[in-house]
Amino acid sequence: MGFILRRLFFYLAAFMVAVVINFMLPRLMPGDPVTAMLGGRGAMMTYDQIEALRQTFGFVDGPLIQQFFSYVSSVFQGDLGTSVQSFPETVSTILGRAFGWTLFLTGAGTLLAFIVGSLLGILAAWNRGGWFDSIVSPLSLILQATPQLVFGLLFMFVFGVTLQWLPSGYAFSPELTPEFSWLFISDVAAHAILPVFTVFIVQLGGFLIPMRNNMINLLNEDYITMGKAKGLSQLRVMLNYGARNAVLPSVTSLSMALGMVIGGAMVVEVIFNYPGLGTVLYNAILARDYQLIQGQLLVMTLFMLFFNFMADILYLFLDPRLKHGGSA
Amino acid sequence: MSQQSALLQVNNLCVDYITDAGDVRAVSDVSFEIAPGEVFGLAGESGCGKSTVAFSISRLHKPPAFISEGEVLFDGKDVLAFSDQELQAFRWAQCSMVFQSAMNSLNPVLRVEEQFCDVLMAHEDISRAQAISRAKELLNIVDIHPDRLRDYPHQFSGGMRQRLVIAITLALKPKLIVMDEPTTALDVVVQREILQKIYQLKEQFGFSILFITHDLSLMVEFCDRIGIMYAGELVEVAPAKSIFKQPLHPYTYGLGQSFPPMLGPKKRLEGIPGHPLNLLEVPEGCRFQSRCEFKHARCERVATSLKELQHQHWAACHRHDSALAPITAEEVSLCKQQ
């Protein structure tokens, strides 16, 4: 229990640091969002109007410390300000709408990459130097080194445009309304295949190679030999004795990857016009929607920390040595 | 040297390693046997092939090592001819094993209970509850409280972990237990305690032991018969009592001189000169020739083989071709002066 509390405290501190940075960055820049938004357009506005807008966007007057506390209190109330681009929608509303899609898209792709990558890595290590290892391992490195952009465009062109097997954009067909029906769910699934597969294929090597290497190191451990000597089936030795130990570092990679892709699937989302956080961020950057960018960064930080915390908890179950504070 | 009653018979065993520098014969033409209830010791310096021999009995080698020639007969059945299923059923049920670093031979992420149950349930048609009650009995045998079954390996001390491993080796009442340096990682007090436990269990259950160590004093005390290995070959096999009193192979003599006696006056220890043989450069003739005090022309040309020179005492040395002559200290010092 002490372990979880300690970690929780650490993540809270890390989050506060992120909040401070998030608060300071725009204030370190010359001008403010209102000037940035209106300055280039030659708009005619009175001082009062500008002041009203500044207040709407959270740039209250007063000393920095007062501004900070006002910012922190609104962050903890879930108020991330108002979007400039799609005024008067709040940042929370926009992010909330997009968040589900991103979690679905990148979560599915990353989890799939973790599961398939780990299994292939286990097999490659078990048959080290065999034909399977010699084909799969270098191939996964090539896949990993290829940018998402290439696969995204390739899949869209081949399967979406040329063969027309799968829809090439959006999360669901525009003529459908979101509802809990087979029609809608299968439509969403069909739209998700290409982007999910793109996320999957790019991350595959990132899980396969470390798993393979961990496993190869572990296969020399005495408990593996003892597992074999015990007359257990190959599968049992491979999974319960080998993989069960080799997977520990991969859990950390998984949590990092999940945290990263919340913001990092931008390329895939933009290619497939997927209405997730990546597309939101992309449009926000194009429109210089500072409030939205800021909010998005904060959400990304939050999720990075959240998934790390999840990994810590998962570790407790996977590695008994942590729970009992053992030294071995 | 075959007996009908032998539990384990190893005949002309050869194990090769395929390396980039060439093929290495790590175990060359090794033959020995173990009778039911017997403790047979294998001794020799690091890298001489002791563990490689031990691994052969359950066919545990991983590439690049493989058994290239020979026979391993267990209860008359050819282990090397077993199918995968037969081998799986044979392992642990007939021949279990305590590993070199038994400290690390327990899976760190599985409860001790699981490591008893998996082996019991893999070999016997019993329920989990039955397996757990068997595991509790086994813990009692090695003096560990049965409540600790739910603990993980890291929660035990080194000596306790070793006893856990021994309890697991007993799980299926095997006929042979291979012990590959079972006490190397432990301090002498715990070492003694473990060995006494093993001996007591052997008396109780009647299994045979293949005992591997480089601690000769321990070995003489513990084993019925001892085999000495050098550079992948078995060079001498004899009853434990006589092998160091009347060594017939110069290497055995050297090993015996490398340990301080418990009684008698202090004297300077004599090591064996030279270095262990590089198995990539095996010479023609005897493998020990470059380090031998008694080398003569024949040793450089003709390979040696084990011969029964006295009753139950086998050695592979050309020295005894004409007449049998145990090695004595006077003779060695005479050779050195020349």
Q: What pLDDT tens digit does each residue of chain A (328 aa) get?
A: 677 888 889 999 999 898 888 888 777 766 666 666 666 555 666 777 777 766 666 666 667 787 788 888 888 887 777 777 776 778 888 888 888 888 888 889 999 999 999 999 999 999 888 899 999 999 999 988 888 888 888 988 888 888 888 887 777 777 777 777 787 888 888 888 888 999 899 889 889 999 999 999 998 888 999 999 998 998 999 999 999 899 888 888 888 888 877 766 788 888 888 888 888 888 888 877 777 888 888 888 888 888 888 888 888 888 888 766 543 3
List the 150-189 stretch of B: residues with Cβ below 8 A of A. 152-155, 165, 168
Helices in chain B by DSSP H: which ranges?
Answer: 50-57, 84-90, 112-123, 128-141, 158-170, 188-205, 216-222, 240-243, 250-257, 297-301, 329-337
B119 contacts on A by Cβ (under 8 Å):
230-232
Nearest Cα residue to A260 out of A317, A189, A192, A202:
A202
pLDDT confidence band for B219 (50 / 70 / 90)? confident
B93 contacts on A by Cβ (under 8 Å):
231
CB–CB of A231 and B102 under 8 A?
A: no
* CB of B91 less than 8 A from some CB of A: yes
> If you measure CA to CA, which chain B residue comes closest to A129?
B63
**What's the gap between Cα B171 and its chain centre?**
21
Q: Is B71 exposed, middle or buried (0-12, 13-18, 19+ CB in 10 A)?
A: middle
CATH 1.20.1250.20 fits A92-322, yes or no: no
**Minimal Cβ distance to B108: which of A230, A231, A245:** A245
ipTM > 0.95, yes or no: no
Beta carbons of A32 and A59 less than 8 angstroms apart: yes
A231 contacts on B by Cβ (under 8 Å):
87-93, 119, 122-123
Task: Check: pTM over 0.90? Answer yes or no.
Answer: no
Q: What is the pLDDT of residue B190?
A: 83
A243 contacts on B by Cβ (under 8 Å):
none
Rounded Cα distance between B93 and B174, Å, is: 5
**Minimal Cβ distance to A328: which of B93, B105, B154:** B154
Rounded Cα distance between A71 and A75, Å, is: 6
DSSP, res B103: G
Name which of A223, A235, A237, A251 to mutate to probe chain B: the one with the most chain B Cβ atoms within 10 A of its Cβ.
A223
B62 contacts on A by Cβ (under 8 Å):
219
Rounded Cα distance between B270 and B169, Å, is: 38
B50-54, B175-179, B256-260: segment of lowest average pLDDT: B256-260
**B225-252 pLDDT tens trace:** 999 999 889 999 999 888 888 888 888 8
List the 127-186 stretch of A: residues with Cβ below 8 A of B. 129
Q: Where are the domains of chain A?
A: 2-76, 92-322
Residue type, B42: L
**Minimal Cβ distance to A232: which of B118, B153, B165:** B118
Q: Which domains does chain B have, with CATH numbers?
A: 8-315 (3.40.50.300)
* CB of A73 less than 8 A from some CB of B: no
Residue B107 backbone dihedrals phi, psi, to 5 degrees: -70, 120
Q: How many residues does chain B have?
A: 338
Report whether pLDDT(B135) > 90: yes
**Chain B: nearest CA to A306, how far in angstroms?**
25
Residues ≥6 apart with Cβ < 8 Å to A288:
A33, A36, A37, A84
